[in-house]
A and B are shown apart, each in its own frame.
Chain A
Amino acid sequence: MAPIFKASEVHKRFGDHVVLENINLQFKSDCLSGIMGPNGAGKTTCFNVLTGKYKPDRGRIEFQGEDITGLAPHEIARKGISRSFQTMNLFNEFTVLENILIALKEVREHGFDFMHLLARESEVAAKAEKILSLVGLSGKEYHRTSDLAYGDRRSLEIGVALAAEPSLLFLDEPTSGLGAKATTQLLDLIHRLKQKYTIVMIEHDMNFLFELADSISVIHWGQVIAYGTPDTLRDNKWVKQSMLGEGA
């Protein structure tokens, strides 16, 4: 089966500092692909390049067979790629519901509608309600986003990404800053999402990623140093060295 997303020979540098060097990644449909690596390995930069925040210096990025190299983030998003952020990135003055509504595809397609109110249409509101239910935020529709608990904010972050009905969902360190209970809830949420979405996830928490991922790419020193299923990677000497600090 052809991959839904493919990055070939992607290279990114900031000044003299090479952050990504000849990165090759492939993500298959209906799978959860993981990216792991130690701090400073280049994981988030890799996400930022793949989702359009940074343009790669060279290389090619394809989504559903189409070249999306160097496209702006909004163009990539409109092609069906959504992402969440490691650092919370929400509309803090909006309510939880408004955060979802503004991200819905139907609302986005009518962003230049000067006359109609946000979500006057019942089907749009119903869709938002469904997403809130999926991420466990039902009953909190009218809570101001900045007043939410950290775990709820993390769920909303994912909800906003889902609202655009993505064909591919990128999650950047979703467990970042979460306690044990919230991590367990998130694990359950991503298990459910995995049934419906193609997901790529960066994660620092090895156990979390190993529990969820179908395949994992290990990035270190700006390069993919290993690739495989969680089972094959558990005993990989490079993984042990980079993630656990064990001698190879």
Chain B
Amino acid sequence: MIVRKIAAQDWITKEMLLIFVILVTLPLWIEQIGLYRYLGVEIVIWMIYGLGFNLLLGYSGLPSFGHGAFFGIGAYAFGLFQLWFFENLWLAIVFAIFASFIAGAAVACFVSHRRGIYFALMTIAFGQIFWFIAIKWHSVTGGEDGLLNIPRAAADFGIFAFDLDSNTELFYFVFIVFVCIVLLLWRLVHSKFGKVLQAIRQNEERARFIGYNVWLFKWVAFTLSAAIAGLAGVLFSMAQQGAYPDVMALHASGIIVMMTLIGGGFVSFWGPVIGVTIYFLARDVLGIITEAWLLWFGLVFVLTVLFKPEGVAGAWQEWRKSRTSTVSGYQTLLQFLSTKKR
């Protein structure tokens, strides 16, 4: 009986399929609603970044305010590999992820001893160090101008290859990466490892006293999250065909925190996906109406933290609880929005 109930999580869920369908058809309808295809690329890249970041914030309870550093390291490493060595998409991606992984692993050695405010402050400090290096090391990073003209090499699968020149092609490449990351992270957060991370978030001391090496788990979570941020950085540098220090700045690191919190990363796996969508829609829709859109977005963030810290996903969960009956036509949508971390 117990086994049947707790073995309910699968590799693929209805919520997942719903979001995959929405995204895979995005190039077909995004222009119909007055937006543009490149926005889709950007949104999916940041969704990947957000999901990886939430492994740390939502699942492990570790607030990193310096994650932009790993996003930037991925972007720079991807560009440098191709500019210095040779144009090969796969090798450049592997190199960039490895660079972010190593940087994340090094930082994690220090920050994993801490949690709460001290953890946050240390991540800010490390983030600022990497950002400063990116700004000042002109000969390698291009300084404030960044790295320009990073090639967008073709995706060569040996027997066939396809170009990534257009935004639609790039979108589908990014989408495939997104699917892989979702499948991987979904499984990971529901695995024994994921449960231990959640246990550590709830009560680090207890986790330690039942025999878990808390430092090591935090180290692994941080390093994995940094590697995923690096992968998102790779995709961003492909999209922009450049790598810039702005993404490593403190405010850029703060934005991913805001996205994750507004979406409801603390209560839902899909929190970052929702938060990223809200952020980019606010930027591009609200941005048409007012240049001060970030001010309004900031206000929404403040109100969220004050009145609904569980974010949009949390609000949906509450709304669903308060409903006594469910309209069957919306059942799938509601289930998706109320998917709790279990």
A residues with a Cβ closer than 8 A to B are 51, 53, 72-74, 77-78, 82-83, 85, 89-94, 97-98, 101-103, 105, 107-108, 110-122, 125-126, 128-129, 141-142, 160-161, 163-164
- 7 CB < 8 A contacts A-B: A72-B213, A73-B209, A108-B211, A117-B190, A125-B6, A163-B210, A164-B211
Q: Which residue of A lies closest to B188 (CB)?
A: A114
Determine the distance from Cα of A125 to Cα of B213 in the docked complex, in whole angstroms.
Answer: 23
How many whole Å from B54's CB to the nearest CB in chain A? 16
With A74-B211, A74-B213, A164-B211 in contact, is A92–B202 under 8 Å at CB? yes
Task: Report the contact-size class of chain B (Cβ under 8 Å from the partner).
Answer: 20 to 34
Q: Mark B191-235, 1 if CB is under 8 A from A, else 0.
A: 111011011001101111111111001001000000000000000
B288 at the interface (CB under 8 A from A): no
How many whole Å from B267's CB to the nearest CB in chain A? 10
15 other contacts beyond A77-B211, A89-B203, A160-B210, with CB at 8 A cut-off?
A85-B206, A89-B209, A90-B203, A91-B203, A93-B198, A94-B202, A112-B193, A113-B193, A116-B192, A117-B191, A120-B6, A122-B3, A125-B6, A129-B2, A160-B206
Asked whether B212 lies within 8 Å of A111 as measured between CB atoms, the reply is yes
Q: Which residue of B lies closest to A121 (CB)?
A: B3
B residues with a Cβ closer than 8 A to A are 2-3, 5-7, 9, 187-188, 190-193, 195-196, 198-199, 202-203, 205-214, 217, 220
Determine the distance from Cα of A109 to Cα of B113 in the docked complex, in whole angstroms.
Answer: 22
Asked whether B208 lies within 8 Å of A74 as measured between CB atoms, the reply is yes
With A97-B2, A111-B193 in contact, is A117–B206 under 8 Å at CB? no
Q: Which residue of A lies closest to B9 (CB)?
A: A117
Q: Which residues of A contact B199 (CB under 8 A)?
A: 91, 94, 102
Asked whether A111 lies within 8 Å of B196 as measured between CB atoms, the reply is yes
With A119-B3, A142-B5 in contact, is A111–B202 under 8 Å at CB? no
Asked whether A102 lies within 8 Å of B2 as measured between CB atoms, the reply is no
Q: Which residue of A lies closest to B216 (CB)?
A: A112
Asked whether B192 lies within 8 Å of A113 as measured between CB atoms, the reply is yes
